[in-house]
Chain A
Amino acid sequence: MTSHSRTHEDEFRAGRELSLDHRKLGMWLFLASEVMFFGGLIGTFLHYKATIPSPESAELDTILVGINTFVLITSSLMVVLGLDAIQRGNRRGLATFLGLTALLGAVFLGGQVYEFVSLYRHGITLTSSVFGSSFFTLTGFHGLHVLIGVVWAALTLGKVLRGAYSAQDHVGVEVFGLYWHFVDIVWIVLFTIIYLI
């Protein structure tokens, strides 16, 4: 019994020696599952793109979406600058950068809604063709992730304004940042395979 307890104790100590924060580990495992989720959608889009070339893709506005890409990249910068700020104990700086993150995320979503409406006016809908189905499914799910990120940024901002987080305790901000940057990476890939190639 004693030796059994010692084994568990040793295993627990070994886990702690890895210096892994359970909140960050949980988020990375979640992001790994998200890679598989978006990987399936991206694989489907690429398959249809290779087998059923669509003239509808000519209706995509690369300039508008390029600007939207720039907006999302800028929002990622805001998140890391916010994290840099709280690591120096600057809670006001964190609040400002989180507010800008939420704002830029909302601007991105506005651009996506504008694009969706424009495509619908050109007759490209979720059910009009294979291209429409795969395009709206892929970009729609990404947009949903951005929306969740905007809400999360707003909730985190609310906590900051109530005095949460400090130079010693900011893992919550870091975990939110991991999610937001992942959504940014997914968009970088989507921008390439949908609009550029």
Chain B
Amino acid sequence: MTSSSSPSTYGASRARQHLLVFAALAVITAIEIAMTQASIAASLANALFLAFSLAKATLVAAFFMHLRDDSRIYTAIFLLPVVLVLAFSTLMLMSAGGH
């Protein structure tokens, strides 16, 4: 919050930001559902689905969970296990693909 803005103005702008994030989440979800009904190459569709999922999760964490404005320590606490899980899953899938 800037020193020049009142709490109500700041709150209104924050609510507007949350509505915009919600609109983005809703549009991405609608695109995902529409894509399941369209005939798109599986490899392209899967890459897009993963990118959309990452974008949606990032939007929720950054704006709804306020990681964008809050202490970076919270971000580190949350991201460390995410990185570990991604590394573990990748190694496991590579191992499964080798058999």
Contacts and interface: CB of A to CB of B under 8 A. Distances in A.
Interface of A: 18-20, 24-25, 28-29, 31-33, 35-36, 39-40, 42-43, 46-47, 50-51, 62-63, 66, 69-70, 73-74, 76-77, 79-81, 84, 87-88, 167, 174, 177-178, 181-182, 184-185, 188-189, 191-192, 195-197
A70 B14 CA distance: 21
A33 B82 CA distance: 10
Contacts of B33: 62-63, 66
A195 B49 CA distance: 10
Nearest to A69: B29
Contacts of A196: 32, 35-36, 45-46, 49, 53
Please report whether the interface of chain A is mostly helix, strand, loop or mixed according to DSSP: helix
Contact of A84 (B18, B56, B74, B92): B18
A73 B71 contact: no
Contact of B81 (A36, A66, A87, A195): A36
Nearest to A76: B64
Contacts, number: 131
Interface residues of B, number: 47
B15 to A, nearest CB: 5
Contact of A66 (B15, B29, B92): B29
Given A39-B88, A66-B29, A88 B81 contact: no
A35 B7 CA distance: 34
A32 B46 contact: no
Given A50-B97, A188-B53, A189-B53, A88 B64 contact: no
Interface string B47-60: 00110110011001
B96 interface: yes
A188 B60 contact: yes
